[in-house]
Structure 1
Amino acid sequence: MAKNVLVLGAGIVGMSTAIHLRRRGIEATVVDRVGPAAGASFGNGGLIQREAVFPYRFPRELGTLLRVARNRSVDVSYASLALARMAPALLRYFMASAPGPYAQTVRKEAALISTCLDEHLDLAREACALDLLRPVGWLRAYSTQRDLDEAVTAAETARRAFGVNFSTLDGAGLAKAEPDFQPRRVGALHWTQSLSLSDPGGLIAAYAQLFERLGGRILRGDGTKLERRGAAWRLATEDGFVEASDVVVAMGAWSVDLTARFGYAPPLFGKRGYHMHYLLSEGAKLNRPILDSESQFLLAPMKHGVRLTTGVEFADRDGAPTPVQLARAEPIARRLLPLGERVDAAPWMGVRPCMPDMIPVIGQAPGIAGLWCGFGHGHQGMTLGPTTGRMLAEMVVGERPLLDPEPYRADRF
């Protein structure tokens, strides 16, 4: 049959892939259970992180492990039974975080990260959404000079090795940059290249509209019900059955529910996270996202208010929300900024799709012709969605991809 592609998942990876397929003249249909930007792409910190060349590794310091084990932290919480079920993947995550393997991971991640600004700006320009991408960077504040000095040393390494730019603010400079940030800190790193989104969901919606203007279709359906019929793939949607020669799986933390049915079950696991929006007291302002290292959560100015994002929760992917981290973080956040009332009726919850080696899966599923994978981006799905989408589209049509796909191949597990 003529090449046409079914893209499963309407988040940042799926929509980016679909746009790049249409740019190449390939018929493409996106299918999602809910619609564009309903998953992890909606509820993130709203950062396109050019500096994120060092993925979040599993902690190996005894003090950190003991603190997390008490299960009272703002940055990490867990459900014991879920943690036990995740143990095989988490053990691999722990091993991959050792210095030797982690150094290799950084090189692979850095290659992807180096493309993120150009690839997002390319799509946002065509989608008429550049106004949603604010070139203000973000701040990480520090309570002690020692911590700030160590952060500057690491940032200098990233600048020399990977072209990452930053500036250093002392306490007075931080107070000038963010006068309503109430605690006094010794200083901050300002990651200057990164883009801050005023509305992550709005950006995905703009990409979805661009895809439709290019002639693509967005339908509702359950991607896990995909079937193989001879040389074709077939899926029921609310608008009837659709068939395709190729399928791109970009369903985030639910991707393996589908691929495992066809014999490919990589060790994908989820990190749940929450957010809540708040009004600011009259006259107060937050100019750019800020992460307070002492508190370990991000506050980001967005269209709907200041977004407070939590750290990591290890819990059953489909279990009921348990926003204990948000309850722990909110009183601290109110001491950092003059927050007013909550905007959202209930906390938002999403699941970050993670691979034990901290590197996404980008490429054809091993031994399954016409089944392509784009998932496992961990904390950097928004940052890397357009790069992943371009690479997948290029591979599907037989072009030379933007980057060497070997480090991200699906059969590495």
Structure 2
Amino acid sequence: MERFDAIVLGAGIVGVSAALNLQKRNRNVVLIDRRDPGEATSYGNAGVIERDGFYPIVFPRQFGALWKYGRNDETALHYNRRFLPKIAPWLLKLRAESSPRAIDAYAEAMNPILAHAASEHGVLAGKGRAVEFFRGTGWLKGYRSIARFEADTKMQLALAKRFGVRYEILDNHEITDLEPDLAPVFARAVFWPDTVSVASPGGVVKAYARLFEAMGGTFAHGDAMSLRRENDLWVVDMDGRKATAPDVVVALGPWAMDLLKPLGYRYPLAVKRGYHLHFKPRGDAALERPVVDVAHGYALTPMRQGYRITSGIEFDARDAPPTPVQIAKILPQVKALFPLGEQIEEEPWMGSRPCFPDSMPIVGPAPRHPGLWLNFGHGHLGFTLGPATGRLLAELITREMPFVDPAPFSATRFS
């Protein structure tokens, strides 16, 4: 049995960042996962650190949009019809959190931590020799019609002005000036220059994990579901031995509720599945930054593995077999936008995004178990927020003054 000051369960971007921030505060930490760091949800995302993430993904309120999604032939959203009764209560909660008042409350809560997201990554990247992965080129969100642009961006751009976040509205000529190899399919685009992207999100997480070990931290393979209390300490089985600590952090993303439900917690966590696939470019075509095709719900991002296409949202059971129909529907649209060449993998990769209906994570203490700390449910902003929420949680555990208000992220908001 090995004694630590803290156990962190989950070695994605959220867990690795929490472990590093606790270590920075002189805590002896063990990081435990069944896989190596950065090989699950943190591997397969679009690789962006969003400065414009203060506007959530919302439930559509227009009948036309609901009708299109209901037909289940949209590229931005796909669902398993048999799963719909299970996800319906969560979707109703999402609808309640999609009012203008709720969106404004979300923006006010999220903007302060988003303002620190890139700099918190920068602290870890500099120490972890991961700077080579980072690009300060911003990202581009394209709209195929002026009507869609005006409808989708009105409130988001108003919030950007309120918070002093930079953006530029581009017409189709300015878009191709910025990215010459894009076909002129977008009527308008919003360029967000302060969003940072990376060439390999999984590589970044692995670099942060190497930093954690180089600074004296312990990484071990283990079973998070073995967590239990023994003599006022938390105990977890790892690599044929036991780890004990007074504090344990649950950073298990889409698997968090597997651990927490037996402890009596009933948080409304849903999983949004997503896919990615890599391609070589055709000829010498190139992109400098990630590009989002808003109408079709995908992002096209230059990565070390090739050009990564990330799909929109799929609602199905977390562990159900992959159904990558969205990638097949998206491909003609992507190829009309950018000259893709040879497909690199045989099959798309699938991952799961852990999402609450209010689009904010839980960061803080579990209400009924001393020493149990929660850091999960980051939705589409996990890679963006991992280092920032890791810092916030470490400050709460060590009783420092938190750098942002933790109240909006409290687990008690679901009581």
TM-score of the aligned structures, taking structure 2 as reference length: 0.96
> Which runs of 5 or more structure 1 residues have no equivalent in the other structure?
none
Give the match for residue 46 of structure 1.
47
What pairs up with 1:7-406 in 2 under 5 angstroms?
A: 7-150=8-151, 153-406=154-407
Q: Alpha carbons of 1:184 and 1:86: their partners in 2 closer, same or farther (altered >3 Å)? A: closer
Q: Name whichever of 356-365 and 161-170 sits farther off.
A: 161-170
SS in 1 for 2:373: strand
Return the alpha-carbon distance in structure 2 between the equivalents of residues 235 and 156 of structure 1: 47
Task: Give the CA deviation at 1:153.
Answer: 4.2
Q: Report if the CA contact (8 A) 2:176-2:184 is conserved.
A: no
Contact 1:55 1:109 in 2 (8 A): no
| Matching residue of 1:5 | 6
Deviates more, 1:322-331 or 1:271-280: 322-331
* 1:180-207 C-alpha deviation (Å, 9 max, x unpaired): 1123433321110000111100000110
Computed over aligned residues only, the root mean square deviation of the Cα atoms, in angstroms, reads 1.6
Determine the C-alpha separation between the residues in 2 that align with 1:210 and 1:343.
30
Q: C-alpha distance in 2, partners of 1:245/1:391?
A: 19
What do residues 213-260 of structure 1 show as CA deviations (whole Å, max 9, x unaligned)? Answer: 111111111212211112111111124211111110000011011112
User: Deviation digits for residues 38-86 of structure 1, max 9, x if unmatched?
Assistant: 1211111111001111111122221111100001110000012222112
CA distance in structure 1 between the partners assigned to 2:188 and 2:45 by the alignment:
25
Matched residue of 1:223: which SS? strand
User: Any conservation in 2 of the 1:377–1:384 contact (CA below 8 Å)?
Assistant: yes
Cα deviation code 1:246-298 (max 9, x no counterpart): 11000001101111222222111100000000000121111211112333311
CA drift at 1:317? 0.5
Secondary structure at 2:162's aligned position in 1?
A: helix
Q: Distance in 2 between matches of 1:234 and 1:199?
A: 34
CA drift at 1:87: 2.2
Q: Which residue of structure 2 aligns with residue 408 of structure 1?
A: 409
Q: d(CA) in 2 for partners of 1:312 and 1:295?
A: 11
- Change in CA separation of 1:284 and 1:370 when aligned onto 2, cut-off 3 Å: same
Which whole-Å CA distance do the structure 2 matches of 1:186 and 1:328 have between them? Answer: 21
Amino acid aligned to 1:45: A
Which AA in structure 2 matches 1:99? P
Alignment CA distance shift 1:93-1:146 (3 Å): closer
Q: Is the 8 A contact 1:31 1:223 kept in 2?
A: yes
* 2:225 aligned counterpart, secondary structure: helix
TM score, norm. by length of structure 1: 0.96
Following TM superposition, by how much is the alpha carbon of 1:102 offset from its aligned partner in structure 2, in angstroms? 2.5
Secondary structure of 2:82's aligned partner: helix
Q: CA separation of 1:149/1:65 partners in 2, compared to 1, >3 Å: closer, same or farther?
A: closer
Alpha-carbon distance in 1 for matches of 2:172, 2:161: 25
Matched residue pairs, number? 413
What residue identity is the alignment partner of 1:91? L
2:5 and 2:166 map into 1 onto residues whose CA distance is 41
